Chains A and B, each alone.
Chain A
């Protein structure tokens, strides 16, 4: 057993309700580290051909902590959920189920707990013949019948399981959306965190797996404990010296709603504007004054970004929710034309309860309201609903329909790309996605770099991957270590490179780090190209180039037609990828040691 790793991976076969423990592939761990890295390596190995139905029993649903997980280090609290995505699809493919991978991650405590239960990874495959909860109590694995939880909201599942198992278990659960195969369903952790992007919740639901509980208290072996103890102190000092430390602790990511509005980077009314007149009503100080009741943190982190609040008046008095964080605030707030904080928090709470990706949910709702405003959809198509901007009772009804796949919800549950195709050609221009992944809460016309982020992210229209090749590799490395991007933003990457050395004995330098990031990124790309994704799938919806902002500080901003192609040309060239197809060139694959993988 190498230090930094437990050396064990827990595999669950839901077909037979069996489990077994395999050895961590340490050769792969040297190359791919953990988290998102070991995730794609294992996905590549286990899905040998293109076109596997992501909702089939054969699609492995995998949870990968990293080599720093379980160590008392601020920032190392995340876990990557890697599987074949449920919502993405290439422009052209003869395979109806072709899709990208997804690598969604969450902070909190589940990742550290899984690692401290003794596992470098958890791989769930098969399909249970009945709804179950998987319970991992350190080495002991059991299944609990979930008939009583199936169909229940995530809040009820957390409450019931929490009461039953006690406060030392950390939980993941899906809601009705995941159970019903909604393509943008997420998995929630410790109530208010969602592994959102890519429909991992639908994959979990397709396996009849309602929830996972884990208790872990075992220490993780490390190669240099004294060094890590002193590094822990250094990280804590670096964090407290961070210029944003005090206000980040106080307000978390919520103020980004205001700065993004100023920069014209908000997504307002299905991306048509970059600022929102009512954003101040949704952000600080209103949220702090009227809504928040406590701050919560991820493992070992003083930043306490999690802002939990309770609606204190009006029709939704008593509702408890988290945020608004940036993404949910932008997508369920500005993008839906919402003007009231309690309305927004109720929407977020409902999306959480139903187990939906709040980003995609806001995108889909914006899409519906846009179609309604433009007379593509009418009340008759919507069971009598009239979705006008910001009318929250209607939006709540739509979210319910989506989660239960009733009426128009059946079509909308497919995500904007498939829904637009089902509704008809008039709807297609309104679908704001890349590769079928709903675009997130950062707009493009005033910040063209985001075109590259959305376009080239290997899970489709995601905002998190970075706008330069180097940055993409740095963040991929971070994801392989399961380190938080906020903490990275505060203290940089060096402490985590050092932590990796101290934990595992890893001897790499900056170049080795970037090369690990590139290897992971490129293998993800290879997975996608095998599924049929090409250059055309790296472009934004054409509507983005037709937009001109009409209000706000960036009034007049546009995203010119040729800009995206120029960005992509340079990107592929710098990456040594074929400019026409976007496929990595053989010499690049060889340099990364990926040239021999194809045969497997």
Chain B
């Protein structure tokens, strides 16, 4: 847990670059898509904004410095993707740290996907969506062996967890098919869809590690100096 996946400098640069690129993409998307925001009655987002879908590999970047921890993304994901108030099923999760920081943890669609590699061949529950680059979990095929969870926890963001009954993996983001609900809902606009010519794995870090490095850039004057 104490290992930093990247230095603070890398992180800050990554976050800034990610946001800028994301903003560009979003602007392009908004221009393309004249359709109104998807209906909020809990229907599938797959019905809308098909034209706006990204057609290259992509991932969601988080500008952690702007996140207020309100959890709108968590609720939106659970409501729109799972049709439930149960945020345990969200594919994005907020973690709170001290000194005060909130870190939104989400799958980075890593190009080398250690989770996919770890998934037993005979199960084959994890595949990559050729359209969006997202990693897709087929819950019906998941055998609950936790191999993906361990791989992500060991090497990447530690976003995979088990369902309440312990039988299925949860938390792998499928990018809502290319039009993510959380990105649209975030009141701070700190989520953005980024093309994967910047590999998402570069941003894949455990929430605690992100908090530690971000803390040094936000609380610049040292702790209670």
Which of B86, B208, B221 makes the CB contact (< 8 A) with A167? B208
Residue A426 at the chain B interface, CB threshold 8 Å: no
CA distance A302 to B42 in the complex (A): 21
Identity of the chain B residue whose Cβ is nearest the Cβ of A299 in the assembled complex: B71
Q: Of residues 134 to 184 in A, which have CB atoms within 8 Å of B's CB atoms?
A: 155, 158-159, 162, 167-168, 170
> Which residues 10-47 in B have Cβ within 8 Å of A in the complex?
40-42
A320 with B100: in contact, given A72-B79, A300-B72 (CB under 8 Å)? yes
Binds B, one of A55-63, A226-234, A253-261: A226-234
- Which of the four size classes fits the interface of chain A? 35 or more
Q: Is B123 an interface residue (CB 8 A)?
A: no
- A320 nearest CB neighbor, chain B only: B99
Q: Which of chain B's residues have a CB closer than 8 A to the CB of A192?
A: 100
- The B-contacting residues of A in range 185-238, CB under 8 angstroms, are 190-192, 217-220, 222, 225-226, 228-230, 232-233
Chain B residues in 8 Å Cβ range of A312: 220-221
Residues of A within 8 A of B220 (CB): 293, 310, 312
Cross-chain contact B79 with A229 (CB below 8 angstroms): yes
Nearest A residue to B86 via CB reads A219
Proximity bits, A529-567, B CB within 8 Å = 1, else 0 = 000000000000000000000000000000000000000
B100, A71: Cβ atoms closer than 8 Å: no
The answer on a CB contact under 8 Å between A311 and B221 is yes
A249, closest chain B residue (CB)? B187
Please tell me if A294 contacts chain B, counting CB pairs below 8 Å.
yes
CA distance A218 to B72 in the complex (A): 17
Any B CB within 8 A of the CB of A376: no
Residue among B65, B220, B224 facing the most chain A CB atoms (10 A cut-off)? B224
CB-CB nearest in chain A for B70: A297
- CB interface residues, B 53-75, toward A, < 8 Å: 65, 68-72, 75
Question: In the complex, what distance in Å separates the CA atom of A70 from the CA atom of B98?
Answer: 23
In the complex, the answer to whether B95 meets A167 with C-beta atoms within 8 Å is: yes
Q: Does B130 contact A (CB under 8 A)?
A: no
Residue of B68, B88, B219 touching A295 (CB-CB under 8 A): B68
> Secondary structure at chain B's binding surface: helix, strand, loop or mixed?
loop
Query: Is A109 engaged at the interface, CB distance under 8 Å to the other chain?
Result: yes
Q: State whether A232 touches B40 (Cβ < 8 A).
A: yes
Contact A318–B100 (Cβ < 8 Å) = no
CA distance A77 to B84 in the complex (A): 19
CB-CB under 8 A from B75, the residues of chain A are: 72, 232, 300
Instruction: Please tell me if the beta carbons of B68 and A310 are within 8 angstroms of each other in the complex.
Output: no
Say yes or no for A317: interface residue by CB 8 A criterion: yes
The yes or no answer to B102 lying at the interface (CB within 8 A) is: yes
Residue of B68, B71, B79, B97 contacting most chain A CB atoms (<10 Å): B68
CA distance A318 to B98 in the complex (A): 14
Q: Which of B70, B84, B88, B207 has the most CB of A within 10 A?
A: B70
Shortest CB–CB separation between residue A347 and chain B, in angstroms? 15
With known contacts A109-B96, A317-B225, A296–B102 Cβ distance under 8 A? yes
| B87 adjacent to chain A (CB < 8 Å) | yes
Beta-carbon contacts under 8 Å, A302-358 to B = 302, 304, 306, 308, 310-312, 317-320, 322
Please pick, from A170, A296, A300, the residue contacting B100 in the complex, using a CB distance under 8 A: A296
Say yes or no for B222: interface residue by CB 8 A criterion.
yes
- Contact call A220/B221, Cβ cutoff below 8 A: no
How far in angstroms is the closest Cβ of chain B from A192? 7
**Cβ of A301 < 8 Å from any Cβ of B?**
yes
Residue ranges of B at the interface with A (Cβ–Cβ < 8 Å): 40-42, 65, 68-72, 75, 78-79, 84-88, 95-103, 187-188, 207-208, 211, 218-225
What are some 5 contacts across the A-B interface (CB < 8 A)?
Answer: A219-B84, A296-B100, A300-B75, A304-B68, A320-B224
Instruction: Using CB atoms and an 8 Å cutoff, list the residues of chain A in contact with chain B.
Output: 70-72, 109, 155, 158-159, 162, 167-168, 170, 190-192, 217-220, 222, 225-226, 228-230, 232-233, 249, 293-302, 304, 306, 308, 310-312, 317-320, 322
Question: Sorted from nearest, which 3 A-B pairs have the closest CB atoms?
Answer: A318-B225, A72-B75, A302-B187
- Inter-chain pairs besides A217-B86, A297-B68, 15 sampled, C-beta below 8 Å: A72-B79, A158-B98, A167-B208, A168-B95, A219-B84, A219-B85, A229-B79, A293-B220, A296-B102, A297-B70, A298-B70, A300-B70, A317-B221, A318-B221, A318-B225
